Amino acid sequence: MRQRLLGGVLGGALVLAVSAGCGIPNRTDVQIEQRGPAAETGWSSGRGSEPPSRTASGKDAEAFVRNFLAAAAGEPDRAYERVKQYIAVADRPRLQEKQGSEVALSVVRLTDDPVIETGADSMKVTITVQQVGLLRANGMLVPPLATESTYEFRLISGGPAGQDDGGFYVADPPNVLLLSDEALRRYYQAESIYFWNSERTALVADQRYLSSAVPAERRVSEVIRWLTAGPSEWLRVGMSGLPDRTEMINNATGADGRWEVNLDMPGADENRLKQFGIQLAWSLQELDGTLEIKILNQSRRVIDLGEYRSFLAPDRVDNSALRFCVYEGAIHPLALAGESAGAVPVAAGANRNVVSAGLRRAGDDEILAALVVAGEDGRQRLTVGRGRDQVEVFTPGADDHAAIGRPVWIRSVDGRSYGLVVADNKLYRFDDQAAMRQVQLGLSGRVSAVAAALDGHRIALIVGGALHVAAISWEGGVPTIGPARRLVTSLVNPTAVDWAGESRLVVAGSAGRPAIYDVSVDGALETTLREDAGAEVTHLAAYPSTPLAGSFMYEANGVAYRSNPFERIQREQVQDVTPPPAGVRPGNPTAPFFLY
């Protein structure tokens, strides 16, 4: 079984091969209707390494406020110093200054423009925010601790009386370091680092933020510190960190394609060092050349970073995914402009009364299929099968339900076949014999959607009207869901979700009207993909072809749509359909999905 790599990045996903052939085009960039907020006056142009100075905004009070919300960006040990430059001298003691690893920035999302009221000798500023998370010194964004939805402070003139050329100062400042989500996007780089799963058979991505102000020669040291600190809290289930008490001795050194790192790593045998080398190679993807690993000043291994990235023998996921939909109760291929359609991988005898489907390749010629079928009474049941090229034999589940969502398969690297599905607002795990077991999440509220990352170790959920992510542990050979982390997004009442890439989700919900967003795996970074979806999205399927681009299809109000470009999927694009008799109105294609 060949293993493929998601978009040139391991993404924690050693995914199974996609058969060569016709499929979606080589270029699959999502058409973005509206990007996130643009830079305001006073922001430095381009991607600056340092936020603007206090006087950069001149007389523009709103630009000053936005720059103040970026002042903490950069290396943690100088965060308080940068923010104090914006604060009136008499008010600087209000900041409860912390040191070292205790430095943390409260990342907030402005939900409206700052309200600025002019007074006799100052301006009163009110900002309304969402608390997105707490950015720690180790680059990890953890759930927010603060609960404030508004902050108030004053602006006073920084120049002599009657002159404005001295800019502004902040008086009565918040007693925390605030960082806007736009400043996070502008002055940090979202980086993926990788941890071995508990079986040490695959790497799983974990997101960190590296300040653009960190010099290139220190990037290696920062990444190694992140690795020694272990994965994010929500990912610890099913992951293997480095040995306890592993520490870096001084900073990594090197240049021109040769680096050296000195560690104290208890139990560092040759196998562990090779695994660490692979972990480093993927966590330092922009780095080429060699890296020498020393343990307590003794040279133990010199790794070629490019070579170590090939030890897992991954190829890239190509663009040979095929599109399908449900039409008149059966699965049919879709042939969109510039694309070719594939054969339906479900035998005709089983391809009846289908409501939705989840299919995936489990090898070069084996297919796993999970179908939701409706009975004569309208009740729905999950039926599951597997086969070579085409699935002919299906096993029906023991129970029927009022409503079952789109089933998704959890990818594994050793042939284990399990999936997840939402039935009657509860989450179930199913196997290749259609045996369903309810999953206890420890969350209150109804489950309305689930999606699985390609790595087989992370899922996204919508529970109680909120977006969550959780890790999967495969210990014992059965997938177990760990504690869920709630993500804060601008969307309210999310209805559908899928993975758009290694660390990105496509999420449908409401932003005043039905909308579709691209959301980072920690909820911090958003991009509007579809500003107005027309109606509530009830079904969503994405193809995570690369870390930076992807295609998706969705259903709203019984009508199916595609991205790239956004347009309705027409009945004429549904293949192998007998035209209806004259005078009979044809139905709509529904529940679109990808096979890869």
Q: What CATH number matches the domain at 3-18+317-576+584-595, 2.60.40.1120, 2.60.40.1530, 2.120.10.30, 1.10.510.10?
A: 2.120.10.30
Residue 22 has what pLDDT? 42
CA gap 108, 296 in Å, rounded: 42
Residue 475 has what pLDDT? 83
Residue 411 has what pLDDT? 86
| Residue 120: how many other CB atoms lie within 10 Å | 4
Query: Which ranges in the chain are annotated with CATH 2.120.10.30?
Result: 3-18+317-576+584-595
Residue 477 has what pLDDT? 87
Residue 341 has what pLDDT? 87
Residue 292 has what pLDDT? 96
Residue closest to 154 by CA, chosen among 40, 54, 65: 65
CA gap 322, 206 in Å, rounded: 29
Amino acid letter for position 478: V
Residue 41 has what pLDDT? 31
Burial of residue 461, with CB atoms counted within 10 A of its CB: 0-12 exposed, 13-18 middle, 19 or more buried: buried
Question: Two tokens at 350?
Answer: 């089983």
Residue 211 has what pLDDT? 95
Would you write out the chain's pLDDT as a tens digit for each of its 596 residues? 333 333 333 333 333 333 333 445 443 333 344 334 333 333 333 345 789 999 999 999 999 999 999 999 999 999 999 999 999 999 999 888 898 889 999 999 999 999 999 998 999 999 999 999 999 999 999 999 999 999 999 999 986 555 556 789 999 999 999 999 999 999 999 999 999 998 888 899 999 999 999 988 888 999 999 999 999 999 999 899 999 999 999 999 988 889 999 999 999 999 999 999 999 999 998 899 999 999 999 999 999 999 999 886 333 455 678 999 999 999 999 998 878 888 999 999 999 999 999 999 887 779 999 999 999 999 999 999 999 989 999 999 999 999 999 999 998 767 779 999 999 999 999 999 999 999 999 999 999 999 999 889 999 999 999 999 999 999 888 999 999 999 999 999 999 999 998 899 999 999 999 999 999 999 999 999 999 999 999 999 999 865 445 689 999 999 999 998 899 999 999 999 988 777 778 889 999 999 98
CB within 8 A of 472, min separation 6: which ones?
237, 238, 410, 456, 457, 458, 459, 479, 480, 481, 482
Residue 548 has what pLDDT? 45
Question: Two tokens at 228?
Answer: 């020694």
**H or E element at residue 185:** helix 181-187
| Residue 219: how many other CB atoms lie within 10 Å | 18
CA gap 56, 578 in Å, rounded: 66
Residue closest to 522 by CA, chosen among 547, 487, 495: 487
Residue 594 has what pLDDT? 95
